[in-house]
Amino acid sequence: MTARSVSRPYMPGYGTLPAGDGTGLLPWSWAEERLVSSRNYWISTVWPDGRPHAMPVWGMWHDDAFWFSSSRPSRKSKNLVANPRCVVTTEDALNPVVVEGMARLLTDPNDLATLLALENAKYETDYKIDLLDSAVNSCFRVAPKWVFGLAHDDFTGSPTRWAFEA
Task: Note the pLDDT tens digit of each residue in 43-88.
Answer: 999 999 999 999 999 999 999 999 999 999 999 999 999 999 999 9
Query: Domain containing 59: what range?
Result: 3-165
Please tell me whether residue 151 adopts helix, strand or coil conformation: coil
What pTM, to 2 d.p., does this model score?
0.94
Domains held by the chain: number: 1
Burial degree of 82 (CB within 10 A; 0-12, 13-18, 19+): exposed
Provide the CATH number for the domain around residue 7: 2.30.110.10
Q: Which of 20-24, 75-79, 123-127 has the highest mean pLDDT?
A: 75-79
